[in-house]
Amino acid sequence: MARSIWSGAISFGLVNVPIKLYSAVSKKTVRFHQLNGETGNRIQQKRVDPETGEEVAYENIVKGYELTRDRYVLITPEELETLDPEKTRSIDIEDFVDESEIDPIFYDHPYYLVPDKGAAKAYGLLLNAMADAEKTAIARVVIRQKEQLVAIRPHRDGDLLVMETMVFADEVVGADELDGLPDSKELSVSDRELTMARQLIESLTDDFDPGKYKDEYREKVLELIEAKAEGQEIAVQPEAPAPAKVPDLMAALEASLAAVRGDEQEEEAKPKRKSSSGGGARAKKKETAKS
């Protein structure tokens, strides 16, 4: 059972909606420790002064902001504490905007907002009003001594509000800062190329099912760990060949469409099974590909 990590209230106008905050994701990263390859002992990380070679006690470590090489401004914890945002238990809504106006690049980490005891009616009012207006709220909240910019929106698949922390505008790398971007002439394509590319996209179009996408690398790492723990020998896989450059865009599009249509003909040739409610998307996909 998930546990709430923060509690407070959503504030808009003079209305307060008590809520509990839950993380909406739980990362499944496989973590490794550093060991001595000869002894198998776990490595200890030590803070060492590079000039004296002596280990520095934790209480003697201070924060420093680098101005130039080997020149720092020292900042004490007490000085930073004076700048901490006011500790509140409020998510203060500042604006309501259309969700389509927010580039997903601004989103950082998702959370669920659940009504606290006795707050279901006020929560439902905000949820339904936002869903009816098709709006997303932009708000600020202080979590773990850090002020966060957040977006709050109705969840697409349930009677629930979702909150996502956001990066600030000056933290987003602008496209104008990238090297090697092609100009509009280089991006131009013929009508025939565009038509075939759209046919390929439509033939591969299906309903989004997040459960069908797996972290295959993580699964292979766990299988490798299990196999080695059981004493199995592991064969080193050869390096994958570099992808070949596509010399002819039209030939690649035609070959891709032919491959997709060939797969669909094989599916149609298989013995028919009783239809189920899950076949609508696949039927739609085939129908689109033939058009």
Distance CA 154, CA 159 (A): 7
Claim to verify: residue 116 and residue 197 sit in the same structural domain: no
- Other CB atoms within 10 A of residue 162 CB: 17
Claim to verify: residue 16 and residue 126 sit in the same structural domain: yes
pLDDT band at residue 114 using 50, 70 and 90 as cut-offs: very high
Element (H, E) at 14: none
Q: What percentage of the chain reaches a pLDDT higher than 70?
A: 90
More confident residue, 244 or 120: 120
Claim to verify: residue 20 and residue 101 sit in the same structural domain: yes
57 belongs to a structural domain? no
Claim to verify: residue 127 and residue 166 sit in the same structural domain: yes
Claim to verify: residue 13 and residue 132 sit in the same structural domain: yes
Residues 6+ apart with CB under 8 A from 263: none
Domain ranges, residue 193: 188-205+249-265+283-291
Q: Is the pLDDT of residue 234 over 90?
A: no
pTM, 2 dp: 0.73
Q: How many domains does the chain have?
A: 2
Q: Which two tokens stand for residue 284?
A: 């739609």
pLDDT band at residue 283 using 50, 70 and 90 as cut-offs: very low
31 belongs to a structural domain? no
State mean pLDDT over 91-112.
Answer: 96
Claim to verify: residue 254 and residue 119 sit in the same structural domain: no
Claim to verify: residue 21 and residue 131 sit in the same structural domain: yes
More confident residue, 176 or 273: 176
Integer CA distances (angstroms), 164 to 103, 153, 160, 236, in order: 13, 9, 13, 41
Please say whether the beta carbons of 60 and 74 come within 8 A: no
Long-range Cβ pairs for the range 125-133 (8 Å, 24+): 125/15, 126/10, 126/12, 126/15, 126/17, 126/161, 127/154, 127/159, 127/160, 127/161, 130/96, 130/154, 130/161, 133/96
150 belongs to a structural domain? yes
Average pLDDT, the chain: 86
